[in-house]
Copies of this chain bind each other. A is one copy, B any other.
Amino acid sequence: MEKFEEKYREYQGFFEGELKEYCAKMKYFPKVLTESMRYSLLSGGKRVRPVLLFAALELFGKEYRDEVNLAIALEMVHTYSLIHDDLPAMDNDDFRRGNPSSHKVFGEANAILAGDALLNEAFVLLLQEAGRGEEVRRAAYHLARAAGAEGMVAGQSADLLYEGKDVSGDELDFIYLHKTSKLIAAPVVMAAILAGADETLAEKFGLELGRLFQITDDLLDVKGDSARVGKTLGKDEQEDKATCVKVYGVERCELLADECAAKCLKLLDKFNGEPNFLRGMVDLVRSRDN
C-alpha cells in the first residue's frame, strides 16, 4: 500500500507539474477567459483519469510521460463537465473541490464559456496529438465518443430526466454507465489502444471501476464529510436524484460496492503484466472519503 501511494504521488506530481506549465502558457484574451480556465483546471482534484492513463500505459509497457497531452485533454474534458454541471440551471452547486464554483467566481456567462473553451481546447490538443499516428488518433476518437452524446452528455441528460422520478435498476445503470463509467474507462482503453493491448478487457475493467466510483460517490453524498469531499453534500436526496442509495438504500449500496470492487479485481487477474497499481486504485476508490 505504501508503494501504491508513492506511485500515485509520482503520477499526480508529474501531472500537476505539466498541467501548471501548460496553464502558464495559456495567454488567451480576454484575461477572464484564461483565468476561469486556469481556476478550474488547477483547483486540485484527485486527477483520477490522468493517473489511470499513466498507470495503464506503464502496465502495458509504454512510457507514460510521452502521453501527457492526452492526460491534459482528459482532465480538460472532465473539468468542462464539472463547470457546466455546477451551473444554476443544472445541479446548482456553489462549491467544487472545496472552492467556490466557476459561476460563483466569474459569473454564469463566463462559466459557460470557460467550459466551452476547455472542451474545445481538449480537442485542439487531441487533434494535434493525432498527427503522431493512427493509434493516437484512435485513442482520441475513443475519448470523443466517451464524452459525447453516446457517452457522458447522455448520462448528464438522463440524470436530469430522472430527477424526482422513480427509477429502476436498469435506468440507474444507464445513468452510471454514461455519466461516469465511460470517462473513467476512457484512459484505460486509450492506453490499450496506444500499446496494442486488449481493448475489450481494458474497457470491461474501466467501466466496472467507473461504476464503483459512482456508487461510492453516491454513498459519500449521504455519509461523507463535506469538508473532506469539498462540495455540498446531501444534495442528491434534496433534489431527489436517481442514485444508488435512492434505489437500493445505503446498506445494499455498500454490498454492491464490495461486489463491484471484487469484480474489478477479478478482471485485473486476467491482465498481462503486474496490475498491482490498478488493484490499489480499486481499493482507493472503494474506501475513499473524498
Contact = CB atoms under 8 A, between A and B. Distances in A.
Contact of A130 (B34, B116, B137, B148): B137
Given A112-B90, A154-B28, A157-B33, A127 B120 contact: no
B33 A153 contact: yes
Interface in A139-179: 140-141, 144-145, 147-151, 153-154, 156-158, 160-161, 174
Interface residues of A, number: 52
Contacts of A123: 123, 126-127, 144, 148
A127 B149 contact: no
A43 interface: no
B154 A120 contact: no
Contacts of A140: 127
Nearest to A161: B30
Contacts of A117: 148-149, 153-154, 157
A14 B113 CA distance: 33
Interface string A17-51: 00000000010111011100100000000000000
A242 B35 CA distance: 22
Interface in A101-147: 107-110, 112-113, 115-117, 119-121, 123-124, 126-128, 130-131, 134, 137-138, 140-141, 144-145, 147
Contacts of A87: 89, 112
A26 B156 CA distance: 17
Given A127-B127, A160-B110, A33 B154 contact: yes
A128 B29 CA distance: 31
A216 B199 CA distance: 52
15 contacts: A33-B149, A33-B153, A84-B112, A87-B112, A89-B89, A89-B107, A89-B109, A90-B112, A115-B116, A117-B149, A119-B119, A120-B147, A123-B148, A127-B137, A128-B141
